[in-house]
């Protein structure tokens, strides 16, 4: 009998009965992982995760030093044991001798972890030189990334809107553009299958700027001004959700049995407008022939008391999701939300205290590789 340098703990009785998935800890590396075992042999699995790092940056732009945040964020990332990791809100930094910004803060965070050697793609600055200054999307993969692209107003033109409460008044409509692109990566899985991973970060439900309608950052001059700003934010969020759905329609033209995952910060809960648009459920289309194009909200598999990724004013909300195509759903095993250490977002804002980690929980789903 060989000696295993591991401690094996049943993840849960229900999961153990459904399929023999066990939580293991590598005592040499301090790396937690889930090793599904079947008839004494390790089953192959794939883990896809999403995590909003909440403006990962370096001083002076960051109020909390990276080394302080890294003490919390690095173990959180290691706990995911992700094969594919979708990150949001990764800021860019200027590096001496480079023309554009780079992801230097992220590189420092990932140093010393397996993720440092993974394939990596990211969104770019509007100029095309390096990455953007704030809120880049980054997809990291243990498997080869064959091709990637950014999608921004490729399927949905910028809606035009004329503000009614602006001071001075606006005389004509202006385009309402998306805050950031969608990041699409085609990844080659072991065995030759291709997986399309769509990394998203939709507009937050915070009122957009209306000229002349603010006294301070979060203090408005009028209810009408705030309402119009809130409407603009909702317009951006719903319009970009539509772009995700139209992108999916293009992918499904190549076959409705495609493996597709849409992961990220949707800034919306299940059954809210953005999720309904992206999912495209049969109950909404009314057409059974379109059901194979609908996505599955995987966090519906969670118990209600575990189904939240943000705590805001005492209210748990599930804003971060992993959605799967029907073909990928067939390989789905389980999903987790690592929300045990989350603090209330509103308390930190009220005290003007920056969090060392993130106010979003990481979400990870496990699938069979094939």
CATH number, position 105: 3.60.10.10
CA nearest neighbour of 324 among 278, 276, 260, 271: 260
Note down the domain range covering 215: 44-368
Q: Which residue pairs, CB below 8 angstroms and at least 24 apart, start in 347-355?
A: 354/63, 354/64, 355/54, 355/64
pLDDT for 97 beyond 90: no
In this structure, the answer to whether residues 312 and 262 fall within a common structural domain is yes
pLDDT for 53 beyond 80: yes
DSSP state of 154: S
In this structure, the answer to whether residues 39 and 115 fall within a common structural domain is no
DSSP string, 294-324: --EEGGGGS-GGG--SEEETTEEE--EEEEE
pLDDT for 180 beyond 60: yes
pLDDT for 17 beyond 50: no
In this structure, the answer to whether residues 97 and 236 fall within a common structural domain is yes
**Is-contact 114 77, C-beta < 8 A?**
no
Half-sphere exposure of 50 (CA within 13 A, CB side): 27
In this structure, the answer to whether residues 128 and 33 fall within a common structural domain is no
Overall domain count for the chain: 2
In this structure, the answer to whether residues 261 and 339 fall within a common structural domain is yes
CA nearest neighbour of 239 among 217, 197, 208, 216: 208
Q: What CA–CA distance (Å, rounded) separates 211 from 225?
A: 9
What's the pLDDT at 11?
43
pLDDT for 40 beyond 60: no
The pTM score is: 0.89
At residue 276, φ and ψ (nearest 5 deg) are -60, -40
User: How many other CB atoms are found less than 10 A from the CB of residue 331?
Assistant: 19
In this structure, the answer to whether residues 177 and 298 fall within a common structural domain is yes
Of 9, 26, 43, the residue that ends a domain is 43
Q: How confident is the model at residue 55 (pLDDT cuts 50, 70, 90)?
A: very high
In this structure, the answer to whether residues 331 and 359 fall within a common structural domain is yes
Residue with tokens 């609908």: 294
pLDDT digits (tens, 9 = 90+) for 218-235: 899 999 999 999 999 999
The whole-chain average pLDDT of the chain stands at 89
**Is-contact 108 116, C-beta < 8 A?**
no
pLDDT for 183 beyond 50: yes
Q: Which two tokens stand for residue 174?
A: 């202006």
Q: What CA–CA distance (Å, rounded) separates 238 from 218?
A: 23
Q: What is the CA radius of gyration of the chain?
A: 21
Q: What CA–CA distance (Å, rounded) separates 133 from 210?
A: 23
In this structure, the answer to whether residues 79 and 211 fall within a common structural domain is yes
What's the pLDDT at 356?
74
**Is-contact 109 73, C-beta < 8 A?**
yes
pLDDT digits (tens, 9 = 90+) for 308-363: 999 988 999 999 999 999 999 999 999 999 999 998 887 665 555 566 789 999 99
In this structure, the answer to whether residues 144 and 12 fall within a common structural domain is no
In this structure, the answer to whether residues 30 and 72 fall within a common structural domain is no
At residue 165, φ and ψ (nearest 5 deg) are -110, 5
For residues 351 and 13, which has the higher predicted lDDT (pLDDT)? 351
What's the pLDDT at 365?
98
Give the whole-number percent of the chain exceeding pLDDT 70. 86
pLDDT digits (tens, 9 = 90+) for 252-289: 999 999 999 999 999 999 999 999 999 999 999 999 99
pLDDT digits (tens, 9 = 90+) for 291-300: 999 999 999 9
What's the pLDDT at 305?
96
The mean per-residue pLDDT over the stretch 200-224 comes to 96
Residue environment code for 169-189, b if the CB has 16+ CB neighbours within 10 A, otherwise e: eeeeeeeeebbbbbbbbebeb
In this structure, the answer to whether residues 25 and 162 fall within a common structural domain is no
In this structure, the answer to whether residues 19 and 122 fall within a common structural domain is no
């Amino acid at each position: 009998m060989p000696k295993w340098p591991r401690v094996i703990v049943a993840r849960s009785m229900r999961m153990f009965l459904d399929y023999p998935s066990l939580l293991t800890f590598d005592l040499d590396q301090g790396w937690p992982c889930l090793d599904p075992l079947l008839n004494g042999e390790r089953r192959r699995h794939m883990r896809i995760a999403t995590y909003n790092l909440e403006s990962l940056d370096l001083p002076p732009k960051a109020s909390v030093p990276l080394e302080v945040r890294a003490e919390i964020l690095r173990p959180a990332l290691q706990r995911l044991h992700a094969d594919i990791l979708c990150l949001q809100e990764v800021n860019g930094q200027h590096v001496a001798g480079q023309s554009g910004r780079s992801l230097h803060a992220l590189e420092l965070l990932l140093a010393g972890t397996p993720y440092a050697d993974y394939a990596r793609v990211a969104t770019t600055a509007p100029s095309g030189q390096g990455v953007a200054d704030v809120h880049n999307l980054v997809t990291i993969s243990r498997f080869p990334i064959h091709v990637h692209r950014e999608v921004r107003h490729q399927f949905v033109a910028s809606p035009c809107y004329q503000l009614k409460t602006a001071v001075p008044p606006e005389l004509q409509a202006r385009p309402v553009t998306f805050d950031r692109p969608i990041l699409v990566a085609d990844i080659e899985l072991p065995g030759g299958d291709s997986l399309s991973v769509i990394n998203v970060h939709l507009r937050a439900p915070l009122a957009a700027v209306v000229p002349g309608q603010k006294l301070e950052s979060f203090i408005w001059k009028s209810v009408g001004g705030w309402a119009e700003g809130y409407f603009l934010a909702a317009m951006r969020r719903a319009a970009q959700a539509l772009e995700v759905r139209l992108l999916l329609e293009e992918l499904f033209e190549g076959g409705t049995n495609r493996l597709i995952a849409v992961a990220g910060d949707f800034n919306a809960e299940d059954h809210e407008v953005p999720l309904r648009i992206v999912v495209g459920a049969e109950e909404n289309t009314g057409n059974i022939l379109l059901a194979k194009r609908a996505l599955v909200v995987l966090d519906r598999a969670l118990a209600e008391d575990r189904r939240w990724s943000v705590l805001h004013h005492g209210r748990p909300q599930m804003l971060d999701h992993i959605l799967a195509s029907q073909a990928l759903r067939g390989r789905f095993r389980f999903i987790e939300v690592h929300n045990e250490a989350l603090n209330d977002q509103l308390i930190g804002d009220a005290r003007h205290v920056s969090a060392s980690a993130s106010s979003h929980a990481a979400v990870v789903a496990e699938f069979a590789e094939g």
